[in-house]
Structure 1
Amino acid sequence: MFAITGASGQLGRLVIAQLLKTVPASQLIAIVRKPSSVADLAVQGVQVRQADYNDSAAMQAALQGVQRLLLISSSEIGQREAQHRNVIQAAKAAGVQLIAYTSLLHADRSPLALAQEHVATEQILRDSGIAHAILRNGWYTENYLGSLPVVLQYGAVLGASGEGRISSASRADYAAAAAAVLQDANAGGKVLELAGDTSYSLSELAAEIAAQSGKPVQFQNMPTAAYQAALESFGLPAGFAALLADSDEGASKGGLFDDSHTLSQLIGRSTTTMAASVTEALAALPAA
């Protein structure tokens, strides 16, 4: 039995879709806060169990009979260490044999503040005695393309990354990696630095968007504090804006770069290029 936490999220759904290619639906468990959010998965035969990262008892009940667990990191920044500890303790009590955890690229030496809770979680896993695999995921290309309509409206990609190289890949690429690790009998003990095959700067991203859209788009590099203020002006909560701005500054220091090609080796194909992701994102926009 395989279980996926955060199964209603974008990554979780993609992992389940990938697993369904090789694993019977009856052997998959989607763990979510609201079962109604994955009613479509239940129709396909996937088991749906309700649990919250904050409720260790409910998580332990949801993990009964599970051999392999994908712990997708919580989205609640600042609460994640405690939440992940709850899940790991519940998994141990339930007899889970392997945990795969979605961490951050080069978490142990990352300049990104985002790495701190991931490093703490990795230590909790080591201390737990449960066999585990660390999926140190790089940036999702979608992190940048989610704001594509605003980019096209104002003709600017904003950031604080300078000419830092970003080795991003698509969520689907990372989902394929997670599914592969869950099915790998020798996954225990692996620490995998996962990132795109090719890298780019935000200047190059802006140029690609301009070339494909036919609209003028340039990268506007900003001081970290000014970028944070701009994000807040767009309606982002201050804490989240600060985290994104810090991550961009980290990118300027090489925090989002990797050239190991571990991800493509794991999934057996090249990772999705930035240009291909731009094409897909533009195609998904409503017709003008």
Structure 2
Amino acid sequence: MIAVTGANGQLGQKVIQTLLNTEKANTIVALVRNPDNAHALKQLGVAVRQADYNNPETLKSAFEGVEKLLLISGTEFGKRFEQHKAVIDAAMAQNVSLIAYTSLLKADTSPLLLAQEHKQTEAYFKNVSAPFVFLRNGWYTENYTDNVDSVLQMGAVAGAAKQGVLSTASRQDYADAAVAVLLSSQNQTGKIYELAGDTGFTLMEYASTLSEITGEDIGFLDMDESAYREALIKAGLPEGMAAALADSEHYAASGWLQDNSGTLSSLLGRPTATLRATLAAKKKS
């Protein structure tokens, strides 16, 4: 069986759907914090089990019979390493043969605040000799396209990435890549994949593309890290999240979210979705 943590999340749901394209529902385990909120997953016929990162007791039986696990990293900054550690320990106790972990692009050397808990988690995998494969995901295109309405309302793309290139890919791309690794006939243990979109863009290019698609005149508001952080807080983001996102864009300016290896499209066997395609799909929806 293949299990997916965070299966109620945006990435987790896409992974489950992709698995169902080729795998029988009774061979897939959707691990969620609260099974009462997993009605859509239950309707798909997959097994739904509780696996609360913050409650290790729920993890003891979550991995029974599981051969391969996709550990989707948590979202609670400052708590993620301990959460990941609890999952790894529980999975190893059940002799899971492969744990694929969604890490961050260039996690081992990245100066991003968001990379720190990924570094700790990757180190722990190695320290306990867990059977890992690291999926070092780059930025999601949706990190930007999900905010299109507010950008259109403001009339500008605001950010602190300067002219740094963002090699983004869609959530679906990353989901499909995770499935490709989980279902691969080749031994994946110990492999590390740096995953990013084929074609990147700057924030100015994002504004230009959005202008072309919508017919609106969208500008680029170039901000420093501090001003961008304050703007995010004013927009309603928690201070920790705002600081992490502003820090990420600060380092994106010097290339830390850029990658031209083509590893992601190689795993997919197809090109990654472009910014324009993702924006166009959102417009249709």
1:222 aligns with 223
TM superposition shift of 1:120: 0.6
Q: Secondary structure at the match of 1:219?
A: strand
Q: Secondary structure at the match of 2:61?
A: helix
Partner Cα distance (1:265, 1:215) in 2: 36
Map 1:118-197 → 2, pairs under 5 A: 118-185=118-185, 186-197=187-198
Partner Cα distance (1:36, 1:183) in 2: 29
1:234 counterpart = 2:229: no
1:260 counterpart = 2:266: no
2:106 aligns with 106
2:76 aligns with 76
1:245 aligns with 246
Gaps of 5+ in 1: none
Partner Cα distance (2:37, 2:194) in 1: 31
1:44 counterpart = 2:47: no
1:27 counterpart = 2:13: no
The normalised TM-score by structure 1 is 0.97
The answer to whether the 8 Å contact 2:165/2:252 transfers is yes
Q: Secondary structure at the match of 2:113?
A: coil
Amino acid at match of 1:41: L
Q: Secondary structure at the match of 1:78?
A: coil
TM superposition shift of 1:47: 0.1
Partner Cα distance (1:118, 1:264) in 2: 23
Q: Percent identity?
A: 50
The normalised TM-score by structure 2 is 0.98
Map 1:50-65 → 2, pairs under 5 A: 50-65=50-65
Q: How large is the RMSD of aligned CA atoms in angstroms?
A: 0.9
TM superposition shift of 1:145: 1.1
Partner Cα distance (1:81, 1:269) in 2: 33
User: How many residues are matched?
Assistant: 284
Between 7-16 and 54-63, the greater mean CA deviation after superposition: 54-63
1:146-168 deviations in whole A, cap 9, x for unaligned?
Answer: 11111001111110000000100
Amino acid at match of 2:135: L
1:58-114 deviations in whole A, cap 9, x for unaligned?
Answer: 112111110100000001011001000000000111111110000000111112111
1:237-267 deviations in whole A, cap 9, x for unaligned?
Answer: 1111111100110110111000000000001
Partner Cα distance (1:233, 1:57) in 2: 38
Amino acid at match of 1:169: A
Between 109-118 and 74-83, the greater mean CA deviation after superposition: 109-118
Partner Cα distance (2:57, 2:184) in 1: 28
Between 176-185 and 155-164, the greater mean CA deviation after superposition: 176-185
TM superposition shift of 1:187: 1.1
Partner Cα distance (1:273, 1:37) in 2: 32
Amino acid at match of 1:66: V
TM superposition shift of 1:218: 1.0
Partner Cα distance (1:36, 1:14) in 2: 19
Amino acid at match of 1:194: L
Amino acid at match of 2:246: A
Q: Secondary structure at the match of 1:82?
A: helix
Partner Cα distance (2:61, 2:144) in 1: 37
The answer to whether the 8 Å contact 2:34/2:52 transfers is no
1:201 counterpart = 2:163: no
Amino acid at match of 1:105: L
Partner Cα distance (1:33, 1:101) in 2: 18
Gaps of 5+ in 2: none
